[in-house]
Structure 1
Amino acid sequence: MLLCAVVAAALMFVDHRFTRMEEVRGHLTTLVAPIQWLVAVPSDVLAWGSLALSEQRALVEENRRLREQILHLSHRVQHMSSLTAENVRLRELLGAAARLDAPYITAELLSLDADPFTHQMVIDRGRRDGAFVGQPVMDASGLVGQVTAVSAYSSRVLMVADVSHALPVQINRNGLRFVLQGSGQYDALRVLHVPDTADIREGDLLVTSGLAGRFPPGYPVARVTEVVHDPGQPFARVTAAPVARLQRSRHFLLIFPPEPAPVPDDALWDREPVDDMGDIESPPAAQGEG
């Protein structure tokens, strides 16, 4: 040990006083590199094994969640099939027309309006794709807005959050109809002229009512987040949050109005033409004609 200490001290002295040791250090480093690699192999193997096991655990957990989600969605599909059949039977009993699926095309976001006082965007579908002014625009969660200007290859969309945008909606729970207006904020919409005694609650889903013929009925628009009853005021202050991801969505659907269903001939009312004009009695002559 004493000999090693002396040699080490001598090497440090030589390294400090002479520059020749730089070349020697380089050769020694090259010589020792395989040894360092062999020494690091066990730790590298352990790190790789732990990473592989963690990734495998993550994949197993994700697989479990996806299986549960598939099972849940399958249950909902089965329940929806029974509800659809029941809805068809009820419509047949009521003599109502079947609700048609609206055709659509997909679109992608091109740009957002830089004006902080407007909430508009530009999408990559235009007149050549069939887009038109007033066309509803959806994302995967709900209604985004409507087309306000169309060019050959792009369209400008006014979002529901814009203060100049308003549309008729109804509460999905009880069918009460109101007007929903943008507030200039992406996460808040105003429900206008809500009577203080109206049956509206936090969490109620607002869907398009189909009035005015601009938006097809039944599409989700917003969910009520706050209902404030002010004593002495005839109307309550109601705030809702849009269900569409206005600030995050990049892909959208442009909804087209469904084709009207053909009316069968036997559904028309039977009307008997009036051929004999003599069956129609003429009004009596006025009295006192001179």
Structure 2
Amino acid sequence: MQATTQPVFFKQGPKPFSLLLIYASLSLTLLVVDVRWQILQPVRETVSVALYPLQWLATAPISAAQQVGDYFVSQTALQRENRKLQDDKLLASSELMRLQALRQENTQLRALLSTRAAHQGKGTLTEVLYNDRDPFTAKLVVDRGESSGVRLGQVVIDPQGVVGQVTRLQPLTAEVTLISNKGHTVPVQVVRNGVRAVLYGLGPENPLEVHWMPLNADIRSDDVLVTSGIDGTYPPGLPVARVKRVDRNAGSAFARISCEPAADIDKHRFLLILDERRDQPARPVEQAAKPARRGAHKEPA
């Protein structure tokens, strides 16, 4: 019996080249039709929805790693920026404090220049270098001395009033004893009624006091005391202190009068040394009484 034979075409199928042409033609046809009429858009949407969980699972580790890296990078950047802002703030604060200090110095210097102009320009501006080493004394050292024409006994003031007096000289510096120094005295006068008195310093951190005033002395709280000028050292009319409290105790012979300085004796950096010379006339010489002659005034017998 003769075996049936089939054509070679059905045994081997289309050749690869033929398949390539068929699939390429089909692809081009689908592309042209999809571009023209968008017939594959629902298919694409359905496939994208179906594949989204797989895409999310595939990209999740990479996204998490990127977020962690971004977090640490942003934290480092924020810390660096915060540190820079803190440094800028400190610099701005220091500059602001310097500007405020310069403004205060400028205001004080203008006030001192106005005060010197009020005294016909007779004065020397000076800067406080440091306080005296002894904490129980009220003294300052300034940067003007004999080479600048400063003399012993000159009065030192600020825009508010009397600060002290030059008590020691060096070629380049001078020592100023403040009116609050213990034992320092200033002849004063009450502006309201002209009553004269002597103001005593009691030491640092202590009020000034007027001593040896009777209980009935006409001095009240808030009275302004100015230099009387009777000693020849302090020019008259300079503000010295303001009466803070008057205690009249019947058990004491004198009133206790506490005062506060008119000047800011422990605040200013710049002061004014007045140059006002007042020649006081010499005290009159007291002549001794001549003894009476014996028998000069005897009555005739």
State if a TM-score over 0.5 links the two structures: yes
Identical positions, percent: 37
What's the CA shift for 1:234?
2.3
What's the CA shift for 1:29?
6.8
Q: Where do residues 34-113 of structure 1 align in structure 2 (5 Å cutoff)? A: 101=120, 103-113=122-132
Q: TM-score, length-normalised on structure 1?
A: 0.57
Aligned to 2:258: 239
* 8 Å Cα contact 2:162/2:263 also seen in 1: yes
2:183 partner SS: coil
Cα distance per residue 1:136-158 (max 9 Å; x no partner): 00012110000011111110000
Task: Return structure 1 stretches of 4+ with deviation > 2 angstroms.
Answer: 23-33, 99-102
Q: TM-score, length-normalised on structure 2?
A: 0.55
Amino acid of the structure 2 residue aligned with 1:108: E
Q: Any stretches of 5+ residues in structure 2 without a counterpart?
A: 1-52, 79-117, 280-301
Which of 17, 25, 37 is 2:68 aligned to? 25
Q: Does 1:224 align with 2:243?
A: yes
Amino acid of the structure 2 residue aligned with 1:231: A
Which of 157, 168, 171 is 1:152 aligned to? 171
Q: Any stretches of 5+ residues in structure 1 without a counterpart?
A: 16-20, 37-98, 261-290
Which of 142, 147, 153 is 1:128 aligned to? 147
Cα distance per residue 1:153-209 (max 9 Å; x no partner): 110000000112111101011110001010113451010111111100000001000
Q: Does 1:137 align with 2:156?
A: yes
1:25 partner SS: helix
| C-alpha distance 212-26 of structure 1, shift in aligned 2 (>3 A) | same
What's the CA shift for 1:212?
1.3
| C-alpha distance 228-118 of structure 1, shift in aligned 2 (>3 A) | same
| C-alpha distance 31-103 of structure 1, shift in aligned 2 (>3 A) | closer
| C-alpha distance 226-195 of structure 1, shift in aligned 2 (>3 A) | same
* 8 Å Cα contact 1:145/1:159 also seen in 2: yes
Distance 1:158 1:254 in 2: 12
Amino acid of the structure 1 residue aligned with 2:125: T
Cα distance per residue 1:6-64 (max 9 Å; x no partner): 98xx76xx97xxxxx3x76335776999xx9xxxxxxxxxxxxxxxxxxxxxxxxxxxx
